[in-house]
Amino acid sequence: MNCILAAINWAYLQNWLPDAPKLRRIKTSKQKAMKGRPITAAEFRQMLAATTEVVGEEASESWTYILRGLWESALRIEELMHVSWDKPGTIRPHWNEGQHPVLEIPAALQKNDTEESIPLLPWFENVLMQTPEEHRTGWVFNPKSLQLRLGRRIRNHRPDADWVGKVVGRIGKAAGIVVEQANERTGQPLKHASAHDLRRSCGERLRNAGVPPLIICRVMRHSSWETTRKHYAPGDIQQDAAALRGILDEKPGA
């Protein structure tokens, strides 16, 4: 609306309009920042249970591994698909003696184009440890083709992140997990759980576990806590209220 008013006023100053039109500003409500929401542990189990229906029995285990990776790592889908054990230029976990494990992320795979190391979440470490040590080479996540359930020849051995994200969305839909209701007024369609909602869920669980905001920012790789809070870890109002009362009840008269 501001852009329209500015353009019309500019046209008037250029003498392209005889009068400056008087337009009433349109008042709009503020929408929430998230296009989705964190899902609960129970909903995540529903997604795991619906996986076989979408991808077939033979590919099911490899796809539930993808879901667990997203749920426990706080990585975006394109980042998860670039996690490897030993490939140069990829996201790699590192265990150094006497130090806590980290994830090393090259600049080319960062939205901010900056090389960075972040703490390896213990949850994600447990997922990685499911792979026997002798098999820790190449890509960590290798979802099997859905062509297997149809008995067709597999054309590509490893799908790209965009296609994997679409399949995760189909799993969310099959599980019936709605993260945003349809809105006839705005034209917003019904939205089911996606790969990015699993990333949101990890951020939310970190907050609920009491992890300090700056550490959550480091894991999520955001420049500020406000970005993390708005888009990934809005928190539970009842938990915040309980924490507030707990603090104030310890300080009578404060």
Per-residue pLDDT, 229: 59
Which residues in the chain show pLDDT less than 70? 25-34, 147-156, 223-245, 247-248, 250-254
Cα–Cα distances in angstroms (integers) from residue 157 to residues 68, 139, 143, 146, in the given order: 21, 12, 9, 11
Half-sphere exposure at residue 106, Cβ-oriented, CA atoms within 13 angstroms? 11
Per-residue pLDDT, 238: 59
Residue 102 · residue 75 · CB < 8 Å: no
- The architecture in CATH of the region 41-150+157-181+188-241 reads Orthogonal Bundle (1.10)
Instruction: Kindly report the pTM of this predicted structure.
Output: 0.75
| DSSP one-letter code for 133 | G
Per-residue pLDDT, 26: 65
Residue 167 · residue 143 · CB < 8 Å: yes
Long-range contacts of residues 234-242, Cβ cutoff 8 Å, at least 24 apart: 234/34, 234/204, 235/204, 235/207, 235/208, 236/208, 239/208
